[in-house]
Structure 1
Amino acid sequence: MIHGNETHAAGAADLLGSVRRALRVLEAVAAGGDGITAKAVARRAGLTLPTTYRLLNTLVHDGYLVRLNQSRGYGLGYKLTGLHRRLCQQLEVTPGLLGVLHQVHDECAAAAYYTVFRDEEIVVAEVVDSPSAPRAEPLDVGFHEAPHATAFGKVMLSSLPASRRRDYLRQQGLVRLTERTITAPDVLEGHLERVHASGVAVEVGEFQGGLSCLAAPVLDADGKVAGAVATSVPAELFEQRQPQLEDAVRVGAARVSRLIAATVSP
């Protein structure tokens, strides 16, 4: 005999599994690009073909995917644009801010990043790059790890009260990503004090070997750090280009700060 609680738990587990399978299908279509076939989706998602067809049809019906008749495959649906737009609104990525990031990208010939505090996390909110100056993987929108090893993370950590910073880093952990990553709490604390005093953070090979990043703080209308503008370049180019990168990032961060202040002005 199956009791009510057991039946409820089994139903909840099945529902959770269905949601996860649907998300795997969605991610498989996104990775495969327009025209990916059901068989290719099933292979990427690790699902049976009947299950894949059922989930594809559901996602097409709800607007998250489209069926492309000419290629006889599938592509991302237009409903996702609304989700992206609302995420940008929640992360406060405005057209003006996006324009500033494009300017930083063009002036630096390097990927430009904008990060914010979202709840208790330091999150990448927007990235502007190009084929000739790509973003550093995995620094995409939503990345929220290893703030102790990234320039934008250090800028934002340096703005926190010491007790809150210690609690945050205790939860995150000081993971060693490369041989240059700072993992000693007292050493990192001294480093963050210097970042706070200078108004700019630099990291060379701490997050990824062969990568250098530089960031400057974005201030809200009350003068508190609300985010950061950053850029990344191959480490072998950094020393020569550091003055140009620092000027562009500082100017970009100041422009974003003015945009934020303007939104709350009477």
Structure 2
Amino acid sequence: MTIDQRTEAGADGRTVNGLERALDVLLLFSRSGVTNLGVSEIGRELGVSKAVVHRILTTLCGRRLVTVDEGSRRYVLGPAALALGRAFLDRVDVRQLAREPLRRLSEQTKETSTLSIRVRDLRVYLDQVTPARDVKMEVQIGAAFPLHAGSSSKVFLAYLPSAEREAYLASGPLPALTDHTLIDASHLRDELRLIRERGYAVSFGERQAGAGSLAAPVLDHEGKPVAVISVCGPVERIRGRIDELAKPLLVETAELSARLGFEG
């Protein structure tokens, strides 16, 4: 190997290593509950010096993948990272497949219909269709919530393999998003068993005060939930319509699951 070849190989090695570290920094922001990070915190998490972290953050800031709050000197995801996330969401096939079922469901129930996907221990809103009425629910596309809070989240948790479900329940104190969030592991196990038995979950103010919802899974050919569809609205409207809303919800999720190869 010539001197030039050794130099080129070394440069490539440093470039790949630097890229991996930069990606590791970005992935830290995907952890549950993380909205901002400091240089020292990133260094501890990744086991690298603050000087290295600062160089990485300077590069990421230059590409608008992260931005810094000049007052606190803490970093948050920047507009370029959010654009990448939205581009990913826009290209998920299930979103296109579910668009018409969501429209039909909202039209039939006169309530908001939503589509969610799972990202590790979080449930993320992917799409929604809202009804033409004055008082209605609207969700924030891209917003993420823990797997025990709300009907859509509980569906994902209910259909996880038992080992993964138990690991989540045993991972530590579960945060309460409202006064009605189920955080007791024993009560949650009973609730999740009921969800699997009847095929859908209900929530009355568990994720958001005043909001009610029903949710059911969209299953793939292996019987795994690739997405969850919900019907949601003000809790006082939803509470008295459980059976009425469950029927079209289960019809739409069953048809969509069949299109994905589920034969149950």
What TM bracket, shorter-length normalisation?
A: 0.5 to 0.7
Q: What does residue 58 of structure 2 align with? A: 14
1:134, distance to aligned residue in structure 2 (A): 4.5
Q: 1:173 to 1:116 in 2, by over 3 A?
A: farther
Amino acid at match of 1:98: R
Q: Distance in 1 between matches of 2:168 and 2:99?
A: 29
Q: 1:228 to 1:167 in 2, by over 3 A?
A: same
SS of aligned partner of 1:203 = strand
Q: Distance in 1 between matches of 2:107 and 2:176?
A: 32
1:164, distance to aligned residue in structure 2 (A): 0.6
Q: 1:221 to 1:22 in 2, by over 3 A?
A: closer
Q: What does residue 104 of structure 2 align with? A: 103
Q: 1:86 to 1:158 in 2, by over 3 A?
A: closer
Which sections of structure 2, spanning at least 5 residues, go unmatched?
Answer: 1-48, 72-78
CA offset digits 1:173-201 (Å, max 9, x no partner): 52112222111111111111111111110
1:1-266 matched pairs, under 5 angstroms: 10-20=54-64, 84=86, 86-90=88-92, 92-94=94-96, 96-118=97-119, 121-130=122-131, 132=133, 134-136=136-138, 139-171=139-171, 173-261=173-261
Amino acid at match of 1:221: H
Q: Distance in 2 between matches of 1:246 and 1:102?
A: 16
State the TM-score, normalized to the length of structure 2. 0.65
1:135, distance to aligned residue in structure 2 (A): 3.9
Q: Contact 1:91 / 1:125 at 8 angstroms: preserved in 2?
A: no
Amino acid at match of 1:88: D
Number of residues paired by the alignment?
A: 204
Q: Distance in 2 between matches of 1:23 and 1:83?
A: 16
Q: Distance in 2 between matches of 1:10 and 1:90?
A: 34
Of stretches 227-236 and 83-92 in structure 1, the one that deviates more from structure 2 is 83-92
Q: 1:83 to 1:212 in 2, by over 3 A?
A: closer
Amino acid at match of 2:91: Q
Amino acid at match of 2:199: G
Q: Contact 2:113 / 2:229 at 8 angstroms: preserved in 1?
A: yes
Q: 1:18 to 1:192 in 2, by over 3 A?
A: same
CA offset digits 1:123-171 (Å, max 9, x no partner): 32222225636444xx433233132121011111111122211223445
Q: Contact 1:91 / 1:116 at 8 angstroms: preserved in 2?
A: no
Amino acid at match of 2:58: D
Q: 1:215 to 1:186 in 2, by over 3 A?
A: same
Q: Distance in 2 between matches of 1:248 and 1:171?
A: 35
Q: Distance in 2 between matches of 1:144 and 1:135?
A: 17
Of stretches 148-157 and 82-91 in structure 1, the one that deviates more from structure 2 is 82-91
Amino acid at match of 1:92: V
Pairwise CA RMSD: 3.2
Q: 1:192 to 1:90 in 2, by over 3 A?
A: same
Q: 1:148 to 1:246 in 2, by over 3 A?
A: same
1:19, distance to aligned residue in structure 2 (A): 4.2
Which sections of structure 1, spanning at least 5 residues, go unmatched?
Answer: 25-44, 48-58, 65-79
Q: Distance in 1 between matches of 2:207 and 2:116?
A: 16
Of stretches 243-252 and 150-159 in structure 1, the one that deviates more from structure 2 is 243-252
Q: Distance in 2 between matches of 1:202 and 1:166?
A: 21
Q: Distance in 1 between matches of 2:181 and 2:258?
A: 33
Q: Distance in 2 between matches of 1:146 and 1:172?
A: 13
Amino acid at match of 1:176: A
Q: Distance in 2 between matches of 1:19 and 1:159?
A: 39
